[in-house]
Structure 1
């Protein structure tokens, strides 16, 4: 499985962060979109690997993620496009996968120096910035361009970010802006 080189900067101000990205030469890709996802356990009790079905607003993806460690290069990911979000959920159900939860977040996407940057806003927790690039060094370079050093970055997944705020994301059947 390919390695995902990605880091998060937690507890950001979305407006100021967007302004900084643009001021450093980045550009916004599109308007903010609502992402919807179902998450499925591959093996119940194994928290290191799961399936994610995500509707991006312009298409859908089916992904297997495997966490090896919380570093910038600690996640393996394989992702394919799928045409129909709800039909894919139904197909996964026929294969024996029941979603453990439904989740939403808002995402504003940017590019900067070849890296992909996402300002993610989730219910119940402060916004964060994700920096994804083709190598660990590129993630660090773009972070530095924005004024962050390696100590400001985490490779933690969203489950662990929620845990920082005392919330067990896996225990929630539904995480939605409508439920606030």
Structure 2
């Protein structure tokens, strides 16, 4: 679904608190298209100049971002080494990356490995799943409301996928799957 440009909330494991998403309460998407960044900023209800951060397999971070050490907390920016990652590359060709290893977040790591197997890139867009000014979403009722109000295509909670039938992107996905 991510390969086909659906944008999903990702709820996995422990709660998160703090200024950024680290892979347990996130909105995730494919990193390839500028239109994805536009849509993510619309979902987040923020200015279009705001960058979207990538989450990357730790073992691929040097290849795509020149990052030679783990960067699990999105604290540092690196120059992006490819034009293929338009949704996560800022106008100055940098990205504030989060690296993920099997040890640091096994479920997100497995998702990135599966995405890499399909696309060649172990990288996804990763932005915080939160209402403006209200913190991270930690209740299923809030998640459902957020998905509808902000026009996500669905969400994944601890490995179980829920899709919004009214999403035009999900309907396109279904139509393309039957062709």
TM-score (norm 1): 0.30
Rg larger in structure: 1
| Structure with greater proportional strand content | 1
| Structure with greater proportional helix content | 2
